[in-house]
Amino acid sequence: MNKYLVIGNPIDHSLSPLLHNYWFKKYRFSDSIYEKKKVEKGDLKKIVEQIKKEEIKGVNVTVPFKREIFNYIDDAPQDVQLTKSVNTLVKENDKVVGYNTDQQGFEISLVKNDWFSKNKKVLIIGAGGVTPSILSSFIKINGAKKIYLTNRTREKAEELKKLWDTAPGILQIKEDTIEIIDWEKKCELCDLVINTTSVGLKKDEKINFDFSDYINKKEVLFYDLIYNPRETNFLKEAKIRGNKTMNGKMMFLWQAHLAFKMWTGVSPKINDEVIKLLD
C-alpha cells in the first residue's frame, strides 16, 4: 500500500484526505491511501526518515509546520530555498525534496477569478508559514504596486520582508514595495485584503481590524486562505460591508492538484464535481 499523509496541528479541518482519496479512486490508484495525522514539532524528523525508507510515499505539510519542516529535508528548488516554506514532500533519488505548491495554487485561484495584481495595492494579514508564498506570488508576477504586511508578532513580518532585501537577483523589487504596518493599525485603502492567519479556523474567532473605510467598496476583494469553515467572520463581515469575497477553496484545490501530479504523474481534473465534493 502506498501511504500519503497530511501533517499539521490542528489537522481536523483538513479536507486533503477527502480530495486525494477521491482522485486515487477516480484514477484507479487502488494501492494508495491518504490520511491526516496530527503531529508535534518533534515528529517531523521521523516523518522525513519514513519517506526516505518509503514507509510513506508523499506528505503534505500544513499549519504550523511549513517552515519548520525545511530544517529536515535534503533538497529544495530555488524558490523554496528562499522562502523556506514547504507544503509537499517527495522522495527523489534517495533524497527527500521539499516543494511548495501553495504559491502556484494561490496564483491560479486569483487568475481564474479574473483578479490581476498589476498596479494594485494589497494588504496581507499574517506572517506564518504560508505567507511567503503569497508574498512571493505578488512579487514574482511583479504586478503589485504596494504590499502592506502586518502580523501580530511584528518581528516575523520584518523577517519576511528581509528575505527579499537579501535576495537580489532572484526576485527584484523596489525597496519600498513592501511596508510593514503595526497590528490592527490602518493603512491606505487596498484593492485586495488577504487573511493568511489561522484566525478563523475555529468558528467564533475573528481578527479585530477596523475595516469601516471599506463600507460599500464593491471592487475590493477580501480573500481568506481558510476554506474550512467555508465562511469565516472575516468574510462574513466583508460581505455585509458590500465587498467581494473569496475563501481558500480554489487555492486548496490547485495546490492539491499540483501535489497529486508530482506524486503520481496524473494531472487530476478540477471540475464542478470535485468543487462540490468539498462543500
Ligand X SMILES: NC(=O)c1ccc[n+]([C@@H]2O[C@H](COP(=O)([O-])OP(=O)(O)OC[C@H]3O[C@@H](n4cnc5c(N)ncnc54)[C@H](OP(=O)(O)O)[C@@H]3O)[C@@H](O)[C@H]2O)c1
Q: Which residues bind ligand X (CB under 6 A)?
A: 63-64, 66, 102, 105, 126-131, 151-153, 156, 196-199, 201, 225-227, 248, 251-252, 255
Least spacing, CB of residue 153 vs ligand X, in Å: 3
66 is catalytic: yes
Least spacing, CB of residue 8 vs ligand X, in Å: 8
* Choice between 157 and 220, CB closer to ligand X: 157
How many Cα atoms sit within 13 Å of 222 on the Cβ side?
Answer: 23
Q: Is the peptide bond prior to 77 cis by the omega test (within 30 degrees of 0)?
A: no
Catalytic residue among 36, 57, 66, 84: 66
Tell me how far apart the alpha carbons of residues 77 and 81 are, in angstroms, rounded to a whole number. 6
Least spacing, CB of residue 183 vs ligand X, in Å: 7
* Choice between 47 and 63, CB closer to ligand X: 63
* Choice between 32 and 151, CB closer to ligand X: 151
Least spacing, CB of residue 147 vs ligand X, in Å: 15
Please identify the residue of the shown chain whose CB is closest to the bound ligand X. Answer: 128
Instruction: Look up residue 17 and give its three cell numbers.
Output: 484526505
* Choice between 69 and 97, CB closer to ligand X: 69
Least spacing, CB of residue 154 vs ligand X, in Å: 8
Tell me how far apart the alpha carbons of residues 100 and 107 are, in angstroms, rounded to a whole number. 13
* Choice between 217 and 263, CB closer to ligand X: 263
**Catalytic residue numbers?**
66
